[in-house]
Structure 1
Amino acid sequence: MTTFPTPSAPSDTSRTAPAGLRGRAARAAAAVEARTPAHRDRAVDGLRALALLAVPTGHWLLGGFTHDPDGALRNASPLSAFGFLAPASWVLQMLGVFFLVGGYASVVSYRRSLERGRSRGAWLRGRVARLGRPVLGVTAVWGALVPLLYVLGVPVTTLRTGSTLVIQPLWFVGVYTLITALTPYCVRAAERLGAWAALPLAATVAVVDLLRYGPYAEAVPSWLSVLNILPGWMFAYQLGVCWGGNRLTERHARVLLIGGAALFATLLLVFDYPASMVGVPGESRTNSHPPSLLVLALAAAQSGAAILLRDRIGRVLRRPAVWAPVVVINLSAMTILCWHQTAMFTVAASGSLARSVLGTVPGLTEAPDSLPWIAARLLWLPVFAMLLVAIARYARRFEAPWPTGRGAVWPRAAAGVLAAGFAVFALGLAG
């Protein structure tokens, strides 16, 4: 499996002079450039990095907090008060792009693995391990922290709020793992049907949407919407598999872009789909959990645009100074996904604990229902980002292969027990 080069540490020069800082950065970027394989598809990596950064940005912008009467933190959303922010979710909801490049990278990796004589099972185990280690790491750490913080006096409601935030993005890992396991079948579908392989998935979602939102919706059981989870997120992944197998041309990409945009507008303006791509508290309908046809329309348009822009993105990423950050982001992909909510919650919980001194902090623990909140929240984003970087310095070790042998059994068992305990607490399965 192709991996990214690990940036080498630059030599120690001046720590204060701007020229020295720029020089170290330039040398680090040059080192990354020199260690990048010639066959690396930089455009795909750039698209993955963009989709990855959209996840914390969206959660940090659209995730607020408020205090309940007992002073505990609870989750709140600015979308409840500011419906005009819904278009921001169209830009920040880039999971379609993430699944697109995931499908592309998977088919390339899968075929190379088979060419090297590895079995399908060995390829899949490697993929699952890369996804599972960071998830086990973050849930185990939280499993250890929750009882400690409770003993220190943090309210249970606040701890549940933080636990919900941690669990929130991890659903993606489970769905992505399941879809990854289906890669061989996606490859066969692409070989037989070409670019049309994704159409049955979209049709399935359309039928389920018609049943749950149509004239006979009252007679349809609520669990029916669950049927959209797999085909809904697999749609863009299948497009990526077709793309990686050279089954998608620029003509197909234009159809995806124009057709997806037209369908998106039609669903919004004619069929009254919710405008927000993320759930809004109090609303009976949501687009993303599970995905509706509007999500697929957006994914189609984004996928078409991504494919059409591939060459331009690749040329831009030939610049070492632009390419190096992309490598760093991709190296820390699962760390960003698993820990960005922890960074935001840590800052908010700190502000909540200091409430007697600081009062309610604008943009942090203040209810997200005023325009000044939006301005204040933008000022907090760099703080969240810096804390995430600090956390990532230690949490990235969960992405590396874990030690094997007899001495590694007990640490893994302990991590499993802690992760299971955290899941029970976060999902409200006890008490």
Structure 2
Amino acid sequence: MKATQLRRAAAKVEAATPAHRDRALDGLRALALLAVPTGHWLLGGFTRDGDGGLHNASPLSSFPSLAPLSWVLQMLGIFFLVGGHASALSYRRASERGESARSWVAGRLVRLGRPVVGVTAIWSGLLVVLWWSGVPDATLHTAATLVIQPLWFVGVYGAVTALTPWCARAARKAGPWAAAPLLGTVAVVDLLRYGPWSAGMPTWLSLFNLLPGWLFAYQLGVGWGEGRMSRRAARVLLIGGAALFAVLLWKFGYPTSMVGVPGEARTNSHPPSLLVLALGAFQSGAAVLLRDRIASLLRRPCWWAPVVAVNLSAMTILCWHQTAMLTAAIPGAALGVVPGLISAPDTAAWVAARVMWIPLFAALLMVTARSARRLDAPWTGAGPGIRVAAGVLAAGFAIFALRLA
């Protein structure tokens, strides 16, 4: 597309944007969304066994010095913050229209669920086709694990969204302090599982961090949407989050990486540790303080148009970005060792080669998105039989993938 056509397209998007649109929030959401595939594509690799099967690998195992990169790419705190803000406004408007809380929550959950059912149902059929084509079982297992990997986020996001009515009431009463008990809960669980008594603690204890850990930034976002987040509070979050992050790393020995590293006994994100909340507090404070500057930048059509495109494809990006990488990796495995794609991620050359693969992954995702975005909209043309079949296929894929995880 020529530069003139791009400018015309950007001008068209600009003209269609309502004056009251909060561009900063959309910009923050787009940034957090793009960090998800970027992180998975950069920090996830493949090795090939003797039978040609693919196995997951990570450059972080060989290059722990890359761990700080995960601090930048782990932007789920921003996503939950912006989600909480948007949900607070949406819920308030729904209440003003007389819509019940139950109806509002149900509508939001259906919007989240459709793309998840779509991608898992389609992959259920793809696994059968790939198996029939002779693709090794190890590759099928790896593919299923990677596809299901980002979908846990949608489930957790749905759970915190369902709590929006209670989050809104808490925010109106306590402002940002409504998130403090969530921080305290995660701190207590971390103390139990990593402190002096950790040897006698059950492994499932960490699951108690799952909901409060991700609800923390969402609650801050709801408070922001309710107008209870001052710049002073944002500065406290920024400075306090940075200080807590540093103390946890250097004094309490938390893992440096924000994502799981193969072979490591501890992980920060599954479920979230106190380090994740510290990073989320820092990111939340920075987002609130930079809101006006971001909004000013996005008043330029050339910056605003890509943000709109990313937001319109939010669920498609989340659900299908691993498929884009697998679309290159599965055929690549038949060729043997392919630098940066099918090779051990243990050299600097691999890192350089993987960076070169990113544009192809992005292009494959864009091609996939053209068809997959239909799954985000209401399935008006699908009868009850198709919906039931999709649900059954999705459930079968989920059972298969989760048994391997």
Shorter-chain-normalised TM-score: which range?
over 0.9
Q: Report the equivalent of 1:420.
A: 395
- The 5 A counterparts of 1:242-281 are 242-281=223-262
Q: Which moved more, 1:81-90 or 1:415-424?
A: 415-424
* Structure-2 separation of matches of 1:214 and 1:252: 30
Shift of 1:354: 2.6
* Structure-1 separation of matches of 2:95 and 2:159: 20
2:343 is the alignment partner of 1:363: no
Q: Report the equivalent of 1:3.
A: none
Q: Report the equivalent of 2:78.
A: 97
2:380 is the alignment partner of 1:399: no
2:140 is the alignment partner of 1:140: no
**Partner SS for 1:248:** coil
Q: Report the equivalent of 2:154.
A: 173
Q: Which moved more, 1:323-332 or 1:111-120?
A: 111-120
Shift of 1:414: 1.5
Aligned residue among 162, 172, 175 for 1:194: 175
TM-score, length-scaled by structure 2: 0.98
* Structure-1 separation of matches of 2:340 and 2:179: 42
Q: Report the equivalent of 2:197.
A: 216
Q: Report the equivalent of 1:50.
A: 31
- The 5 A counterparts of 1:50-89 are 50-89=31-70
Aligned length: 405
* Structure-1 separation of matches of 2:175 and 2:53: 53
Shift of 1:428: 2.6
- The 5 A counterparts of 1:4-23 are 21-23=2-4
Shift of 1:63: 0.2
Contact 2:52–2:334 (CA under 8 A) maintained in structure 1: no
Q: Report the equivalent of 1:161.
A: 142
Counterpart residue identity of residue 236, structure 2: V
* Structure-2 separation of matches of 1:402 and 1:111: 27
* Structure-1 separation of matches of 2:215 and 2:399: 28
Moved over 3 A (4+): none
* Structure-2 separation of matches of 1:233 and 1:349: 33
1:191-231 Cα deviation digits (max 9, x unpaired): 11111000000000000000100001111111111000000
Aligned residue among 177, 192, 204 for 2:185: 204
Aligned residue among 144, 149, 152 for 2:130: 149
* Structure-1 separation of matches of 2:171 and 2:72: 28
Counterpart residue identity of residue 391, structure 1: T
**Partner SS for 2:383:** helix
TM-score, length-scaled by structure 1: 0.92
Unaligned runs of 5+ in 2: none
- The 5 A counterparts of 1:259-408 are 259-355=240-336, 360-403=337-380, 408=383
1:280-321 Cα deviation digits (max 9, x unpaired): 111111100010000000000011001000000000111111
Shift of 1:427: 2.0
Q: Which moved more, 1:133-142 or 1:409-418?
A: 409-418
Shift of 1:232: 0.3
Shift of 1:189: 0.6
Unaligned runs of 5+ in 1: 1-14, 16-20
2:382 is the alignment partner of 1:411: no
* Structure-1 separation of matches of 2:403 and 2:193: 28
**Partner SS for 1:427:** helix
* Structure-1 separation of matches of 2:292 and 2:377: 31
**Partner SS for 2:264:** coil
* Structure-2 separation of matches of 1:317 and 1:362: 38
Counterpart residue identity of residue 372, structure 1: A
